[in-house]
Amino acid sequence: MARWEPDARGRLQQAAMELFRDRGYADVTVAEIAERAGLTKRTFFNHFADKREVFFANAQMFEEDVLAELAGADPALRPIDAAVRAVTRAGLKLAPYYEYAKARNAVLAVTPELRERDLVKSDRLARAMAGELVRRGASERTAGFAAEAALAVFALAAADWIATPAADLAGFMERALTDLRDAVG
């Protein structure tokens, strides 16, 4: 691939995920990622601070989408319903990237360093969602429960979707929310 081709950031992400999936996160270098993408290490560092950040590159976009959806949700919705709706809508934007999501989950499952970072990012998102729910009028406690629950629903639904790609992510979200409601009575 020539250096002048567009979407250097996307190419770096794709190259990194392919290498991480094939060889394991720890055994891949930034130089190898750049080479696979047809770019230089310098270009890599223009887009990402390190290889961990290339792995989590879409987390900020997902967070922004969730918060925007939550801010625009119908004020009459209960906190849990607004939170699940926001996460579902943001998640649907990821649906075209099934193969990437599948590879990401496979790498995450076998890399403790990345799982730890994923938990930190999830906690950050839950706190931001809770803050938005409080701004919508929920108590801090209710907002915290709703945000955490919505992310749990999303994690289960996303795992189901990855296992059954022909199915509908939104349908898995609805089923996971129903299961949560059944679990808590």
Go through the domains of the chain in sequence order and give each one's CATH number.
8-54 (1.10.10.60), 58-184 (1.10.357.10)
Amino acid 101: pLDDT: 86
Rounded to 5°, angle at Cα 144 from 86 and 136: 55
State the pLDDT at residue 58.
Answer: 85
Greatest extent of the chain over all pairs of C-alpha atoms, in Å = 58
Of the pLDDT bands very low, low, confident and very high (cuts 50, 70, 90), residue 69 is very high
CA distance 123 to 129: 10
C-alpha to C-alpha distance for 118 and 80, rounded to whole angstroms: 22
The mean pLDDT value for 3-18 works out to: 86
pLDDT digits (tens, 9 = 90+) for 78-128: 999 999 999 999 999 987 888 888 899 999 999 999 999 999 999 999 999
84 within 8 A of 177, measured Cβ to Cβ: yes
Q: What is the tens place of the pLDDT at every residue in 19-65?
A: 999 999 999 999 999 999 999 999 999 999 999 999 998 888 899 99
| pLDDT in the model for residue 4 | 56
